[in-house]
Amino acid sequence: MSDETTTGLNNRKILMWVFLGSDCMFFASLIGTYLIYKGMGLPHPGPSDVFDIPTTSVSTFVLLMSSMSMVFAYAYLVRSNIKAFRIWMISTIIMGATFLGFQIFEFSEFYFHDHLSPQTNLFGTTFYALTGTHGIHVTIGVVWLGIIFYSSLFRNTVSAKTNLDLDLAALYWHFVDIVWIVIFAVVYLFGTFKGFPS
């Protein structure tokens, strides 16, 4: 097998883009389901009963900052500054895990305090399915970045030469972030602000 490709791009990079295109349709269907059922069924507990916008804004900010530190990690890796790469890498992982921590806190708050379970009403069903799917995506991303970080520390297999491995994980990470921006706007902001049709 020769390493040359028709377009000069790496096969895995194109694969990642095609996968993300496919994943767009996946999230589009889930968000579509959420919007179709918005305001239908039992109204309480509804979005304005459970959402705490300041808290979720903090976790959203943390997730967006993790994208920035991801960019730094990649930039330092291609410049062969492994030490700075590791610092930004671990900060990305910590911020991703922090976002997950917020989500677990949020889910348990909704579940135990507001008595909103997936079985309660259509809002519970669609909300947990959509944000839960996103949470699984973030978890996969954190584990993926964790494996790369581990490889960099103990297997010494991460270098500027193998930056594509990190590039693919970073693409995925940024995509998951962008999806969260949509979810935050459509589910959280549209769900609580007065003036948006329910």
Residues binding another protein (CB under 8 A)? 1-2, 5-7, 9, 11, 14-15, 18-19, 21-23, 25-26, 28-30, 32-33, 36-37, 40-42, 118-119, 121-122, 124-126, 129, 147
Nearer to another protein, 98 or 133 (CB): 133
User: Shortest gap between Cβ of 138 and another protein (angstroms)?
Assistant: 16
Residue 158 near residue 90 (C-beta atoms within 8 A) = no
Measured CA distances, 95 to 25, 43, 101, 136 (Å): 27, 34, 10, 15
User: Shortest gap between Cβ of 9 and another protein (angstroms)?
Assistant: 7
Nearer to another protein, 25 or 104 (CB): 25
Select from 81, 97, 104, 96 the least CA-distant residue to 152. Answer: 81
Q: How far apart are CA 95 and CA 66, in angstroms?
A: 6
Nearer to another protein, 15 or 104 (CB): 15
Fill in the DSSP letter of residue 110.
I
User: Shortest gap between Cβ of 84 and another protein (angstroms)?
Assistant: 26
Q: How far apart are CA 126 and CA 118, in angstroms?
A: 8
User: Shortest gap between Cβ of 177 and another protein (angstroms)?
Assistant: 19
Nearer to another protein, 31 or 62 (CB): 31
Question: What's the CA dihedral at 124, 186, 179, 93 to 10 degrees?
Answer: -70
Nearer to another protein, 140 or 185 (CB): 140
Select from 72, 94, 100, 65 the least CA-distant residue to 166. Answer: 72
Element (H, E) at 64: helix 53-78
User: Shortest gap between Cβ of 129 and another protein (angstroms)?
Assistant: 6
